[in-house]
Chain A
Amino acid sequence: MIDILALIGAMLVAATPLIYAATGEVLTERAGILNLGIEGTMYAGAFSGFLVAAKTGSPWLGLAAALVLGVVAGALMGLLVVTLGVNQHVAGIGTTLLLIGASEFTNRLLYGGGALVQIDKFGLLFPDVPVLGQYVLTYVALIVVVPFVWWLLRATGFGLRVRAVGENPEAADAAGISVARTRYAALMGGGALMAAGGAFLTLAVVGTFTLNISNGRGWVCIALVIFARWRVWPAVLGALLFAGVDALQLQLVITPAFSGIPRELMLALPYLVVIAALAASGRGLVYPGAYLKPYRRA
């Protein structure tokens, strides 16, 4: 029958990339920027992390490379939507296409479609303990990153500035806050978190890189952030819910007692739950005041 401890363990692994990336997206959206570059940033984070780990033999250096790439991806978004004032949807999707294309192209140049390259990846902490047997990055996400970003947004001057430029950039500007600099900072920090989420897939979970590595996880995070109403902890909750239902359906589908339920329905289950959660929490939704709007001094 269903093994509950295995279920919780699987949920935490599957939720980790979502937690990193959704936290990063909360940060950028609170600054007023919908970063649809998230899917590409996760993808390129996964690839750059894998690449550097493969070349150096160290997953830590791989992670560092992914973080740098995420900062650069965030800066690129900043150039497009903050400095140039390009439409955020177009800039985000363009960034995603660019980063996925560049990753696949580099992958072909270096690895050209032979056997998959296996890297020395992160090991499990407490590998023999159910539930607690997790990768170090999962612990870092839940104990360090999420509380830090929550505290940053809620209790620091920087967090106040981020929220100010996301709600009312005119007022923030009048108060002497640099709207551009604050938004760049949010995008670069958020980008680093998204890339870390992608790198978790290659550096911890599978230890190799294949095409389509992120498989739409970035888009799931976009929905999770709206579900969470731009708050960090509810985003984590949403990620756990999605990953938990996914882990559950993977167990149910191979359990004889549930063989009557069509596979297609099982596969759709986590998405249905997120849609239902969105619908339930979507009423009276208040977007950040300056969402999607480039800021120009009048």
Chain B
Amino acid sequence: MARTRLWRRSAVALLGAAALATVAACGGNTGTTTASSPAAGASAGASTTAKPLVYGAYATPIEEPWDGVIHRALQAAADKGDITYKHVDNIGYAGGMERTLRDIAANDKPAVVFGDAFGNEAAVRKVAKDFPAIAFAFGSGEKEQAPNLSVFDNWIHDPAYLAGMLAGGTTKSNVLGVVGGYPVPEVNRIVNAFIGGAQSVNPKVQVKVSFINTWFDPAKGKQAAQAQIAQNADVLFAERAGVIEAAKEKGLRSIGAMADQKSQGPDSVMTSLLWDMGPTVQAVLQQVRDGKYVGANLKDYSFLKNGGSSLAELNTAVKGGIPADLMAKVTAKQAELKSGSFTTPVDEKTPAGSTEIK
């Protein structure tokens, strides 16, 4: 009996230790310091002055594409030797953001903090107010806050319009499908720009729009896409994961988002919408270096004409190819976007489940 009890107690202790170790390993979200490589430091040469410390504070794991874009842009800046970069991710939406930001601001005293404020708006604004010497730049659907909180967002409506033209120009059934996460303004304007682009080249086109009520559930995304295919959609825009898989199975065309997803369906993915936070990061760093940083709306830096968003290289190897005259139209429109002679209309209303044919 005594022996059993001893065994039980030591098993509990062991399990506890294992659980702690696991929590430390996964839940701890250890922010990795990326001291830039010696080579980069040496080549910078003149930059003997201390590099500014930039902190990334992300509500989601960095595997989430949106925060991943911010993370990669900052990582790139660190690799170039512009900054010292640290980050914390998976902070969540239950009070962790305020605690983490205060901790970072008080102890690490970074020059800039980047992150996403969606779902943590109040916390970010409170901490920014309390630390006016630090530049805060956060993804947000709200306005900037004087003196030191800038906002940005994934303004990829420009490439969405171009992708819409490709979809509208290659559909045979005149029915397109779009699968999004939630019908929130930042998703709606991408979907509406896509619809606008499609209608600009094909007035007969009808667009089916589904939202799966989660950012992550590729199985559900695929199912939503299959429902659209059942209703004759033959070109699918994968705002969410899983959609390309549905298109691939039926030999249909698709368009990816957030990263070039050609590798997921070389026969299917015509192009992808890309977002690059590089210009936004560089703009903020420049302002900080010049001592001229003020809280502002940084959305323009995500526009196509400023290099913040783009269409991935067109994949002419898709089944059936892409007609040359359509590619020329898209290229011409892209040039107009770059020169500023055309601006993509911004419409943040929730799109209908099935657009009316005009």
Residues of A at the B interface (CB closer than 8 Å) are: 3, 6-7, 10, 13-14, 17, 79-80, 83-84, 94, 98, 101-102, 104-105, 107-108, 111-113, 115-116, 118, 124, 127, 201, 205-208, 210-213, 215, 246-247, 250-251, 253-256, 258-259, 263, 267
Contact = CB atoms under 8 A, between A and B. Distances in A.
Contacts, number: 139
A205 B219 contact: yes
A118 B265 CA distance: 9
Interface residues of B, number: 54
A270 B353 CA distance: 18
Interface stretch (B107-115, B227-235, B298-306): B227-235
Nearest to A124: B249
Contacts of A113: 61-63, 68, 71
A84 B11 contact: yes
Given A254-B209, A259-B353, A210 B241 contact: yes
A102 B26 contact: yes
Given A3-B231, A251-B230, A259-B352, A206 B218 contact: yes
Contacts of B350: 263
Interface string B208-224: 11110111111110111
Interface in B2-24: 8, 11-12, 15, 19, 22-23
B224 A250 contact: yes
B264 A118 contact: yes
A59 to B, nearest CB: 14
B8, B12, B26, B230 — which one has the most chain A CB atoms within 10 A of its CB? Answer: B230
Given A6-B227, A251-B230, A101 B8 contact: no
Contact of B63 (A102, A127, A211, A247): A211
6 contacts: A6-B230, A10-B227, A115-B259, A206-B245, A215-B217, A254-B210
Given A83-B11, A201-B219, A115 B260 contact: yes
Contacts of B352: 259
A253 B68 contact: no
Contacts of B219: 14, 17, 201, 205-206, 213, 215
Contact of A116 (B15, B241, B249): B241
Interface string B223-264: 110111111000000000110010001000000000111011
A1 to B, nearest CB: 8
B106 interface: no
The 6 closest A-B pairs by CB, nearest first: A6-B230, A212-B216, A101-B26, A254-B208, A250-B227, A105-B26
Given A6-B227, A113-B68, A259-B354, A208 B23 contact: no
